[in-house]
Structure 1
Amino acid sequence: MKFAIFGVGGTGGVIGGYLANAGNDVTFLARGAHLKAMQEKGLTIHTNHRGDIHIEPCKAVSADDYHETPDVLFICVKYYSLEAAIELTRRIAGPDTLVIPILNVFGTGAVMQEKLPDKTVLDGCIYVFAKRSGPGVIEQPQEILRVFYGFRPGQDSRLAEKAAELEKIMRAADIHAHFTDDIQRDALTKFSFVSPMGAACLYFGVTSEAFQENKEVRETFIGLVKEVEALGHAMGVTFDRDLVATDLRLMDAFAPGLTTSMQRDVAAGGPSEFSGLVSRIVTLGKKYHVPTPLYKKIDDWCKAHGLA
């Protein structure tokens, strides 16, 4: 298969890097110094569990200069860059292209599909802790790497055979991939972790160890998870696990000192995914008549402090 990766941060860099390292045809769509570094020196992923992964030569171009039709297009940008992703997909995706958005925000695939009715846009999510640390360099300090993707209920599944083959290719590349038959459940399960962590980290101004050591932070995190869980039930989602217990196990396995991408974006003074990770839950809570007092508290506080 031919892969295109739009967005080469922690998510796209790891997915594309692992696939390329296994010998797959991968083109990274990037820009600026990051693109130049990959073109000149390749892409390096620093990991604590398998050493360095170095991809050289590295196929990397700007999105504007990419004129192929990939078999699989992974969308790995931030939520605030979704319109650019939609325009790229409209231009390069063919009738047999699987488009898989891997964003932090729940329901991104459906948002894209509405604007791209002639494309096949799945939904997807990832469990990974990674970030770009410099031009051409990705840091992956935690071993966790799980990718879920699938068709939404009622969606045309003509490309299901290709989606199943993709699962095999990704697993052969040491990516724990799951072509799931309930992506809404699996994506919301993941969202129940990343959204509460992002909200609490930003509100308290803390790093990962605070969730293990600070009672107020930990209890707030648990409360946020429960609000997402209640929202899922109201939306008709049946979870296959205890979300609080699952998310606490993930949190307790983290090394100290880790921050979220939303924290880093806010600290840098740029746009963030706050609207998708926090405000969206408040809005959905109103729509489905589910109380979300903790999300509302953090939403109001962040907006009042100019952090949203």
Structure 2
Amino acid sequence: MNIGIVGAGGVGGYLAQRLAEAGERVYLVARGAHLEAIRERGICVKTQAGVTCSAPAAVSDDPADFGKSMDVVLFCVKGYDLQEAARKAAPMISPDTLLVPLGNGVGNAEVLRRLYPGHAVANGAVYIVSHIAEPGVVALGGRGALLVMGMEGGETPPALTALAEALQKAGVKTKISGDITTDVWKKYLLIAAMGTLTSCHNVPMGPVLQKHRKELEEAFGEILAVGVAEGAKLGKEDVESVRRQLEKVPHDAPTSMWLDFKAGRKTELEQLTGYVVRKAREHGIDVPVMRRCYKILCEKAGR
């Protein structure tokens, strides 16, 4: 397969290295010092066992340089960059290319469908602890990644099956979901609630659990209600699963959105908070906690 990967960060860089190491033809879109380091020695993954580097078939900041269309393009960028990244990826997208967004959020497939009407667009959720340690090097925490992918209609096109097989061969635990809408909302339930409340109160996850637990539980209920209205089969057991995950979180664990706010960087506010508020309005659902925090965070962001 020709596999395009847009974004060489913690997710995209990891997948690119594993797939290239397994012999897949990977065309990686990266930029800056990261791009130059990858050109020099390949994309590297650092684990407790050491550093492994693999050269993609090609790497560039301009997809037109690849000179060919892909069987699959994985979008591994932040939600606020997805639309622009997808536009720039046009030279490697043919009518037969499967598009798979793997960023945080539940609205990413909508963005791609609007830009590429008539194309096959899957959706996906990635469970991984990773970050860029230095240019060209992705540091992996834990044992690896779990990638869940699927089409919203439940069908499985050949390109999705081939991609899953390639990922499994590369050592990436992969699941093709028959209900991807529910699966992406299960992850979103945790990241939207905690990303919003850590940023809203300017604290890590531990204090949210201890001092703002009532708000957190209310946020879970609000997000769950919106998810159900959007077609996700969510229930109390999913909230309980999130609670169990949070029991294992260190007291000072941050969320990426809170870190971005603290550093004055661009944030995923619209993907993790604004999206819930907008969809709640569409469905006539009251979401007071998410709405209040959205207002506070918009002011923090200078809007």
* TM-score, length of structure 2 as denominator length: 0.89
The aligned amino acid for 1:196 is A
How many corresponding residue pairs?
Answer: 301
Distance 2:23 2:235 in 1: 35
Distance 2:145 2:54 in 1: 22
Instruction: Sort the Cα spacing of 1:210 and 1:295 in 2 relative to 1 into closer, same or farther, 3 A.
Output: same
Query: Are 1:86 and 1:116, in contact at CA under 8 Å, matched by a contact in 2?
Result: no
Query: Are 1:142 and 1:254, in contact at CA under 8 Å, matched by a contact in 2?
Result: no
Instruction: Sort the Cα spacing of 1:289 and 1:131 in 2 relative to 1 into closer, same or farther, 3 A.
Output: same
1:238 pairs with 222, 233, 236, which one? 233
Query: Are 2:87 and 2:115, in contact at CA under 8 Å, matched by a contact in 1?
Result: no
Q: Does 1:132 align with 2:132?
A: yes
Structure-to-structure mapping, 1:155-304, within 5 angstroms: 160-210=157-207, 214-239=209-234, 242-255=237-250, 257-304=252-299
Per the alignment, in what secondary structure is the counterpart of residue 293 of structure 2?
A: helix
The aligned amino acid for 2:291 is K
The aligned amino acid for 1:78 is K
Q: Deviations over 1:168-197 (max 9, x none)?
A: 221222222111121111111111111112
Query: Are 2:125 and 2:147, in contact at CA under 8 Å, matched by a contact in 1?
Result: yes
Distance 2:20 2:51 in 1: 10
Per the alignment, in what secondary structure is the counterpart of residue 125 of structure 1?
A: strand
2:55 pairs with 45, 48, 57, which one? 57
Task: Give the alignment's Cα RMSD to 1 decimal.
Answer: 2.3
Distance 1:89 1:43 in 2: 20
Q: Deviations over 1:227-253 (max 9, x none)?
A: 111112223322377121111222333
Pairwise CA distance, 1:126: 1.3
Query: Are 1:9 and 1:131, in contact at CA under 8 Å, matched by a contact in 2?
Result: yes
Between the aligned residues of both structures, percent identity stands at 25
Pairwise CA distance, 1:291: 1.5
Instruction: Sort the Cα spacing of 1:179 and 1:88 in 2 relative to 1 into closer, same or farther, 3 A.
Output: farther
In structure 2, stretches of 5+ residues that fail to align are none
Q: Hey, what does 1:71 align to over in structure 2? A: 71
In structure 1, stretches of 5+ residues that fail to align are none
Query: Are 1:123 and 1:151, in contact at CA under 8 Å, matched by a contact in 2?
Result: yes
Distance 1:257 1:307 in 2: 27
Distance 2:220 2:145 in 1: 21
Distance 1:254 1:174 in 2: 26
Per the alignment, in what secondary structure is the counterpart of residue 246 of structure 2?
A: helix
Compare 61-70 and 121-130 and name the one that shifted more: 61-70
Distance 1:74 1:67 in 2: 17
Distance 2:149 2:228 in 1: 21
The aligned amino acid for 1:52 is G
The aligned amino acid for 2:80 is Y
The aligned amino acid for 1:261 is S
Instruction: Sort the Cα spacing of 1:130 and 1:305 in 2 relative to 1 into closer, same or farther, 3 A.
Output: same
Per the alignment, in what secondary structure is the counterpart of residue 174 of structure 2?
A: strand
Distance 2:302 2:197 in 1: 13
